[in-house]
Amino acid sequence: VQLQASGGGTVQAGGSLSLSCQASGSVWMVNDMGWYRQAPGKQRELVAYFGGGGSRKYSDSVKGRFTISGDNAKKMVDLQMNSLSPEDTAVYYCNADIVAYSGTRATYWGQGTLVTVSS
CA nearest 38: which of 112, 105, 104, 96? 112
Q: What is the mean pLDDT of residues 46-54?
A: 91
104 pLDDT band, cuts 50/70/90, is very high
Instruction: Count the Cβ atoms, other than its own, within 10 Å of residue 77.
Output: 29
pLDDT the model gives residue 3: 96
The answer to whether 101 touches 26, Cβ cutoff 8 Å, is yes
108 pLDDT band, cuts 50/70/90, is very high
pLDDT the model gives residue 16: 98
pLDDT the model gives residue 72: 83
What contacts 26, CB < 8 A, 6 or more positions away? 1, 100, 101, 102
53 pLDDT band, cuts 50/70/90, is confident
Q: What is the mean pLDDT of residues 91-117?
A: 96
Q: Tell whether the model's pLDDT for residue 52 goes beyond 80.
A: no
pLDDT the model gives residue 73: 86
Instruction: Count the Cβ atoms, other than its own, within 10 Å of residue 57.
Output: 14
Q: Tell whether the model's pLDDT for residue 49 goes beyond 80.
A: yes
